[in-house]
Amino acid sequence: MTRPAACLFDLDGLLLDTEPLHARAWREAAAHFGRTLHSEELLALRGRRRLDCADQVRQWIQQSGGPSLSSADVLEVRQPIAASLLPHAAPMPGAQELVERCHALGIPMAMATSSSREAVALKSEPHPWLKLIERRVHGDDPELLAGKPAPDVFLLAARRLGVDPTACWAFEDSIAGARSAQAAGCQVHVLLPADGVCAQYPPEVVCLQSLAELRL
């Protein structure tokens, strides 16, 4: 098997099991303003930047007859909830082993995440193995012009590694993230969520039930 020139990793739901925690934080924040978020709405938030998600939740609240809010109003409620939950996120099965294997083989790695630098630090602190991924593009990176599903985050990650994105393997779990990586030209590997099916994702992605399936 030909190994990739580099591996580009999402974080939430791919390396760390944060998606149920993010969903709970958004659900509780919306409920504070009288709006119940449904499962398909929570799915639509996966993989996207915090501000983009807050703006979407704000719109849903207002469209349902709720109060007129700013994104900051939503985040003021949501962020303390998330901050209390996210440090408890466990690694996804096979994630640590995959990162350590890439490191041992000398395969360059970068993190391509929608999470802010501050949020990544909060979630990563209990997991020292994540420090092996030294190059990172965060959702609040000043060079990042657009969040997922735009290709910018993967293009920027590949550029910082000095590799062609078409020679990279990108690892994602969200539909928005898979679209982003595919638009960047990467070979996309999707870790299917418990409620996900491969047909929901762009064509030509490689679907995985667990990162432990992957062999490098």
Active-site residues: which are they?
10, 12
Radius of gyration of the chain (CA): 17
8 Å CB contact between 6 and 161: yes
Asked if 108 contacts 121 with a C-beta cutoff of 8 angstroms, the reply is no
Q: Are the beta carbons of 168 and 187 closer than 8 angstroms?
A: yes
- Please name every residue paired with 109 in a beta bridge, in sequence order, or none if there are none: 7
Rounded distance between C-alpha atoms, residue 19 and residue 186, angstroms = 23
DSSP state of 48: S
User: Do residues 157 and 88 touch, judged by C-beta distance below 8 A?
Assistant: no
Cβ(79)–Cβ(118) below 8 Å: no
Measured CA to CA, the distance from residue 213 to residue 206 in angstroms comes to 11
Helix, strand or coil for residue 199? helix
Separation of alpha carbons 203 and 83, rounded Å? 35
